[in-house]
Amino acid sequence: MGTLSARATTYYVSSSGYDSNVGTSAAQAWRTPARVNAATLQPGDRVLFEGGQTFSGSLRMRSNQGTAAQPIVFRSYGTAGPAVIASGAEVGFYAHNAGGLELRNLTFRGAGIAASQASGVQFYNDSTNAHLQHLRFDSLDISGYQRVGLEVGSWNGTSGYDNVRITNSQFHANGESGLSSYAYFPELGHSDWYVGNCNAYDNPGRQELPNSATGNGIVVSGIDGVIVEHCTAYHNGWLNARGGGPAGIWGWDCNNLTIQYCESHHNEAGGRRDGGGFDLDGGCTNSVLQYNYSHDNDGPGYLLVQFDYARPMHDLVVRYNISKNDARQQDQGGILVYSEPWLGGIVNADIYNNTIILDRPANGSSPSAVYLLSGNISGFTVRNNILQADPGLCLVRTFTTTGVRFEGNDYWSPTGVMKFDWNTAQYSTLSAWRNASAQETLAGGSRATGMSVAPGFVSTGTGAQAFLLDATSPLLGQGLNLLTEFGLSPGPRDFYGLPTPAAAAPGNIGASEARLDISTPLPVELTRFTAAPQGADALLRWATASEKNNDRFEIEASADGRTFRRVGQVPGHGSSTQAHDYQFVDPNIARHGTSQVVYRLRQVDRDGTFHYSPLRAVAAGGTAGLALFPNPTTGAASLVGVQPGAVVTVFDAVGRPVLTTTATAGGTAALVLPRGLAAGVYMVRAGAAAIRLNLE
């Protein structure tokens, strides 16, 4: 090990260098990716690209192998931000049968979906039954490729990649997917993957591929053991041409897949089916969707599908998720299930403590809160969920009367007029449906379950916070006890991080386990949070009115408003009823490599529970105010630093409003621009402040 470390070499690549140099210092740097490709790299070697510079060409690794202990690392150096690999129509980074590699803090930029014919970063393993170890992808920005932003695949028996970590990265404006994996079907060639804090957006799909679901955000397959968490996917899929289309974040042909703490919204399917938020698809086993927020998607919030020739699909859990106004197109469902009869269909799925809210779409589509689109399912249970839909929309719609049990759910329409479509037989009340179907009963039909009451959500929340249960909610303590009655563990927490009830205690219905003391403040009552320039630094100040079990504040910074990194932390005061003031200085914010830095606080309790503060922005030039990310954009952006509740309007070049929205209580506004707008400069105005938005 010591010998390998001693032999490891660091190579530098700079726009001011020459390929005839030795490359082993910044003063003797190489100049081009082609020179890097010609080198024979050894385990432990590092290739550093000068930050803030653009390098034309592709990086290609064919025979270079690192190890887990001595990986070959490619990353940027200096304080000017990430280096850009501009690969034009070619792949940005290609590795064939190579492991032990790390890519960090780099931008890969293709020539655009129409001009590029490749993926951005592509790893491919076709060695015979080879399990290559240790891939790390961190702080990457990959855009402008016709195929996939980051693609990791294998195609030779059981070959694959083990111990893979993909973190803090962005995948946008790519044709087929932001992030994708595959293995030799139906083998699980890969194992032990983690995908965290990644964002996939503005990946439109490809109209010329009618036989492929294109326009996905994040899709994983062929993996045994994978976690996807703290990721977002939005505004993907509008050019998809396949009848069964894409989804924001999903997996197929995986075992032990967990998708959690993610948000997926405003995804589309090109006028076709799907285009939803989250999906466990063909061949998934022992897999979980939990603590996710899906909203405003064309397709289902949560989809379960089995298709012909997939591996068996069984033992799935969908719990403590929220869906708000999904299924905007094609009469789909907040939760939708479809199964071919292949290998017995989908076997054993527990769907519990989710909150599904459906307003009627303006386009005339008729979604359902829960939609079982086929039979071929068995061992399905739907328990303790809130199912709320506007009048005329189905709360439950099925094409089967067997293989599923609905128990302990709350069914509600704001007018009290409800609709159940039970394999074409229709009912307008819970009791009528219960009597005809024997659903919502236990003990052989002698015990009625289920409720038809207004859930009683808090009146002041926005976004997912709007679905916390109020102190007067009739659903508090009304859930079936999953553990004692069915031997089903509900897991440790609800959507909001609140603990699930003790074994003997009844829980709530829906995704919120808030108790009768919900009106009490959060563990830390944050009364002020500001960020302002202080010379070349940023000064962050905040104050609390009270604290309970407050361990610390972690200060996180972002160059793009989406991918955050911890830059420091300040200890809390534990439990206190007194006011406390805090401050933190982030030095030399120009080191973040952007003209404006976005900050947030991650307040962490002593039990590990955490909450985020609103966002604040500071310009490297010495001002604080509005920040817009991403900018330029191809259709969607987030505005931060807005006065809560302020009206935000986007104007075109001649002053005509094209979009109006309202900032959240956290001071942010989601700007999803109408499709069809011409590329150019638009003005975003919030009160007296304004900022330019560049639409590509």
Q: Give the model's confidence band at 527: pLDDT under 50 very low, under 70 low, under 90 confident, else very high.
A: confident
Residue 236 CB partners (closer than 8 Å, separation 6+): 178, 200, 201, 202, 203, 204, 205, 215, 216, 217, 246, 248, 267, 268
CB 175 within 8 A of CB 217: no
DSSP letters, 193-217, are EEEES-EEE-----TT-TTS---EE
Q: Where are the domains of the chain?
A: 524-619, 627-695
Is residue 232 within 8 Å of residue 201, measured between CB atoms? yes
Instruction: Report d(CA 440, CA 400) in Å as an integer.
Output: 16
Structure confidence at residue 535 (pLDDT)? 84
SS3 assignment, position 468: coil
Q: 604, 579 in Cβ contact below 8 A?
A: no
**Are the CB atoms for 122 and 58 separated by under 8 Å?**
no
Please give the Cα distance from 613 to 600 (Å, whole number): 6
For residue 1, what pLDDT is reported?
Answer: 40
Domain 627-695, CATH number (from 3.30.1480, 2.60.200, 3.30.40, 2.60.40): 2.60.40
pLDDT number for residue 358 = 97
Question: Check: CATH 1.10.1740.10 for 524-619?
Answer: no
- The residues facing 211 across adjacent strands are none
Confidence band, pLDDT 50/70/90 cuts, at residue 520: very low
Task: Please classify residue 655 by burial: count the beta carbons closer than 10 Å to its beta carbon, then call 0-12 exposed, 13-18 middle and 19+ buried.
Answer: exposed
**Angle at CA of residue 173, ends 59 and 589, nearest 5°:** 75
Quick one: 402 exposed, middle or buried, by C-beta within 10 A (0-12, 13-18, 19+)? Answer: exposed
pLDDT of residue 517: 39
- Residue 659: pLDDT band with limits 50, 70, 90: confident
Tell me how long the chain is.
696
The pair of three-digit structure tokens given for residue 178, joined into one six-digit string? 């932001």
CB 177 within 8 A of CB 203: yes
> Which is higher by pLDDT, 164 or 604?
164
Q: By C-alpha distance, which of 514, 501, 615 is closest to 557?
A: 615
- Tell me the helix, strand and coil percentages in the chain, rounded to 5: 5, 45, 45
Q: Which residue has the higher pLDDT, 147 or 501?
A: 147
Give pLDDT, residue 4: 44
Instruction: Output the CA torsion sign for 679, 680, 685, 689.
Output: positive
Average pLDDT (155-159) is 93
DSSP state of 362: T
> How much is the mean pLDDT over the chain?
90
Q: What torsion, rounded to 10 degrees, do the Cα atoms 109, 114, 118, 120 define?
A: 20
User: What is the rounded distance in angstroms from the CA atom of residue 334 to the CA atom of residue 326?
Assistant: 6
180: pLDDT strictly greater than 60: yes
d(CA 149, CA 95): 14
pLDDT at residue number 453 = 93
411 token code pair = 């069914």
The whole-angstrom separation of Cα 159 and Cα 190 is 7
- pLDDT at residue 666 above 70? no
Is residue 343 within 8 Å of residue 379, measured between CB atoms?
no
Instruction: Tell me the residue ranges of DSSP E strands in 560-679.
Output: 564-576, 580-586, 596-605, 610-612, 616-619, 627-629, 636-640, 647-651, 657-662, 668-672
Q: How far is CA 29 from CA 51, 77, 78, 86, 314, in A?
A: 13, 12, 14, 19, 55
Topology agreement, domain 524-619 and domain 627-695: yes
